[in-house]
Amino acid sequence: MDTSAKEIDPKAARREKLNRLIESGVNPYPSEAHPHTPLKQIFDHCDSQCKNPGDSDDKIYAAAGRLRAIRGQGGIVFLDLADDTAKMQVVTKADTLGESQNLIDNLDIGDIIWVEGSTFRTKRGECSILPHELTLLSKSLRPLPDKWSGLKDQEVRFRQRYLDLIMNDQARDIFQKRVALIDALRTNLKEQGFMEVETPVLEHVPGGADAEPFQTHHNTLDIDLFLRISLELHLKRLLVGGFPKVFELGRVFRNEGMSKEHLQEFTMLEFYWAYADYLLLMEMVEELYAQAIVTVFGVTKLERARGETLDFTPPWPRVEYTSLLREHAGIDVITSSDEEILAAVKKHRVDSGAELGRARLIDQLYKKVVRPKLVQPQFLIDPPLVMSPLAKPHRQNPRLAERFWVLAAGSEIGNGFSELNDPLDQQKRFAEQEKLRLAGDPEAQRMDHDYVRALEYGMPPAAGFGIGIDRLLAVLINQSIRETVLFPTMRPEQGVDKT
C-alpha cells in the first residue's frame, strides 16, 4: 500500500495505532472491570470545591467514557471525556501520568478510556481531571463524524443508531423521555391497583384491532401462527378469569404502510378495568396523560413549531364524531346510504374503494377531512357502531358506539370504549367482519371462537384503553414516529463497508 495513501486513510491510521499498542504490550480491549463515578458527579464536586482558577482538590475519582476531542501534544494534552451524564476535560501531564503518558500518542477521538485522578480548575476556569493513571478500554477503529457538521443523514442515523446516540444529544434525550414516559404511565396504573401481565405474541387468530397481521410458522407443531396486532382479547379473557384491573406493555405487529405516524412494529400499552364504562374511563385517561406529561416535561402545555401550544390540562373537550363529519364532510354517516358515503369519499378524493365496506369508508373519510383539523387535546366520542366491532352500543342511541379516541395535533394518541360483553352480539359482529375480510378488506377482524366462548362464561362490564407509546411520544416531542424508536425497520443495507 502507498504510504501517503495510508496516512490520509483514517481507518488505516487507527489500525496502525492499534498495532503499535499491541506490540508495546497494551491490550486495547482489556477484560478487567473498571468501576468509576459518573462525570456529572465529578464535575459537580469540582465546581463546588474548586471555586477559583488554580484551585485543586485531593479527592481521587475514577472516570470512564468516550474521547470527544484531543488537543495539544507532548508534555500536556487536553482530552474531552464524555459519558451519559456529562462531558469533562481531562488534562494529562507527563510528570503526573508517568508510564500511562505513552498511550496518549496512540489515542483517537472515539476511544473509550478510564482515568483516575484529582480535580482542579484551570487558569481559564474549567473544571478538569488531573489523572495519575490512564487506561485504554476500547480502541475505536472508525472515525466519528465531524463534530461541527454532525450526523444529519436520516438513513444513517436510523440504520446506525449507535452512532446517532454518540453524536446527537437530542437523540439521547428522546429515548430518555421515552423511558420516563413509560415509567410514569406504568407507575400510575400500578398505584391505581392495575396488575401488569404478559400475554402471547404468537396467536392462532389475530384480533383486537383493524389491521393486517404478519404470519409465521411453528415448525414443531407444524402450524401457521400470527404475530399479535393488539393485546386486547387476551387481556379481556383475564377479566373473565377474575382479575378486575389488568394492563400490559408490549410489542405488537401490523403489516401496514409506513408513514410519519405508522410503524409495523411498535409498543402498545393497554389496560382493562372491570365495572367501569367509557365515561369513567375518559376522566381517568385525561388525568393519566396529564400526570405522565408533567413527570416527563414538567408542564402540561407543550410548545410546538409556529408558536402552537398543546394544552393537556384536564378537563378536555368532548366532541362528537358524527357532528364533525356533518360539519366538515357535509354528510350524516348514520342516516346516509352506502352509495352516499362512497360518493362523499370520492368527492373528497379519499383513496378508498367500495370493497372496503361502510365502516372503513367512514374511517377513511374522517381521517382525510376531519382529523387533521383537531389540534388541541380532546376526546372524539360516539362514532357509528359499525366502526367498533368490540365496543358496546351507545346506551342512548344504539346506532352509535360507546367509544372515544384521544386526539392531539391531528393524530390519534389513544383509543378506548365500553367493552362489549354480550357473547351473542360479539359472535354476530365477528361474522360480519369475516364477510368484509373475504370481500377484500385485509384489515377486517376475524372470528375468534375461543374469545366468544370466554364471553359465554360471563365477562363483567368493563372499560378498556390502548395507547401507542411511539405515536404518543412523537406527538409530544413534535417529531416523526421513527425518531422515537431505537432501531426502526429498514430495507437491508446495500454496499456495506466491510473494510
Residue 42: per-residue pLDDT:
97
Grid cell for residue 464: 378498556
Confidence of residue 99 (pLDDT cuts 50, 70, 90): confident
Residue 149: per-residue pLDDT:
63
Segment 320-327 shows an average pLDDT of: 96
Residue 353: per-residue pLDDT:
63
What spatial distance separates the first Cα and last Cα of the chain, rounded to whole Å?
A: 14
Spatial contact of 115 and 133, defined as CB atoms under 8 Å apart: yes
Grid cell for residue 123: 487558569
Ranked by mean pLDDT, the top range of 164-168, 215-219, 341-345, 435-439 is 215-219
Q: Are residues 114 and 174 in the same domain?
A: no
pLDDT at residue 5 tops 70: no
Q: Strands, E, within 369-490: which ranges?
A: 378-381, 403-408, 411-418, 462-468
How far is 79 from 69, CA to CA, in rounded Å?
A: 6
Q: Which of 138, 159, 181 is the last residue of a domain?
A: 138
Residue 419 inside a domain? The answer is yes
Segment 381-387 shows an average pLDDT of: 96
How far is 228 from 448, CA to CA, in rounded Å?
A: 13
Q: Are residues 295 and 409 in the same domain?
A: yes
pLDDT tens digits for range 203-258: 999 999 989 999 999 999 999 999 999 999 999 999 999 999 999 999 999 998 88
Segment 481-498 shows an average pLDDT of: 85
Q: In the chain, pLDDT over 70 holds for what percent of residues?
A: 96
Q: Are residues 399 and 463 in the same domain?
A: yes
Distances (CA, A) of 475 to 65, 164, 288, 310, 407: 33, 21, 16, 10, 10
How far is 352 from 408, CA to CA, in rounded Å?
A: 25
Q: Are residues 192 and 120 in the same domain?
A: no
pLDDT at residue 498 tops 60: no
pLDDT at residue 7 tops 80: no
Residue 326 inside a domain? The answer is no
Grid cell for residue 357: 365496506
Domain count, the chain: 2
Collapsing DSSP to helix, strand or coil, 377 comes out as: coil
How big is the CA angle at 112 (ends 153 and 60), to the nearest 5 degrees? 135
Q: Are residues 133 and 265 in the same domain?
A: no
Spatial contact of 382 and 257, defined as CB atoms under 8 Å apart: no
Confidence of residue 493 (pLDDT cuts 50, 70, 90): confident
How far is 290 from 296, CA to CA, in rounded Å?
A: 10
Grid cell for residue 333: 354517516
Rg, the chain, Cα only: 29
- How many Cα atoms occupy the beta-carbon half-sphere of 447 within 13 Å? 10
Whether the upstream peptide bond of residue 145 has omega within 30° of 0, thus cis, is no
Q: Are residues 273 and 421 in the same domain?
A: yes
Residue of 498 and 267 predicted with greater confidence: 267
Residue 329 inside a domain? The answer is no
Spatial contact of 113 and 137, defined as CB atoms under 8 Å apart: yes
Ranked by mean pLDDT, the top range of 273-287, 356-370, 427-441 is 273-287
Q: Are residues 427 and 479 in the same domain?
A: yes
Collapsing DSSP to helix, strand or coil, 437 comes out as: helix
Segment 176-195 shows an average pLDDT of: 98
CATH number of the domain where residue 433 is located: 3.30.930.10
Contacts of 449 (CB under 8 A, 6+ apart): none
pLDDT at residue 487 tops 80: yes
Dihedral class, residue 222 (left if φ above 0, else alpha if ψ from -120 to 50, else beta): left
Confidence of residue 102 (pLDDT cuts 50, 70, 90): confident
Residue 260: per-residue pLDDT:
83
Spatial contact of 148 and 478, defined as CB atoms under 8 Å apart: no
This prediction's pTM: 0.92
pLDDT tens digits for range 439-459: 888 888 999 999 999 999 999
Q: Strands, E, within 122-165: which ranges?
A: 127-138
Encode burial over 260-291: b for 16+ CB neighbours within 10 A, e otherwise.
Answer: ebebbbbbbbbbbbbebbbeebbebbbebbbb
Residue 253: per-residue pLDDT:
96
Spatial contact of 240 and 455, defined as CB atoms under 8 Å apart: yes
Spatial contact of 481 and 452, defined as CB atoms under 8 Å apart: no
How far is 196 from 74, CA to CA, in rounded Å?
A: 59
Q: Are residues 116 and 183 in the same domain?
A: no
Residue 29 inside a domain? The answer is yes
Grid cell for residue 102: 505513552
Residue 473: per-residue pLDDT:
97
Q: What's the chain's average pLDDT?
A: 93
Residue 2: per-residue pLDDT:
45
Grid cell for residue 78: 487536553
Residue 309 inside a domain? The answer is yes
pLDDT at residue 8 tops 50: yes
Q: Which of 121, 138, 155 is the last residue of a domain?
A: 138
Cβ burial of 186 (10 Å; 0-12, 13-18, 19+) is: middle
Q: Which of 89, 115, 138 is the last residue of a domain?
A: 138
pLDDT tens digits for range 62-71: 999 999 999 9
CATH number of the domain where residue 70 is located: 2.40.50.140
Confidence of residue 153 (pLDDT cuts 50, 70, 90): confident
Q: The domain containing residue 272 runs over which residues?
A: 169-317+376-484
How far is 323 from 448, CA to CA, in rounded Å?
A: 33
**Could you say which DSSP state residue 217 is in?**
E
Residue 23 inside a domain? The answer is yes
Residue 122 inside a domain? The answer is yes
Grid cell for residue 340: 352516499
Q: Are residues 114 and 187 in the same domain?
A: no
Spatial contact of 419 and 390, defined as CB atoms under 8 Å apart: yes
Spatial contact of 410 and 394, defined as CB atoms under 8 Å apart: no
Residue 478: per-residue pLDDT:
94
Residue 336: per-residue pLDDT:
92
Residue 415 inside a domain? The answer is yes
pLDDT at residue 1 tops 50: no
Compute the residue count for the chain.
499
Q: Are residues 68 and 17 in the same domain?
A: yes
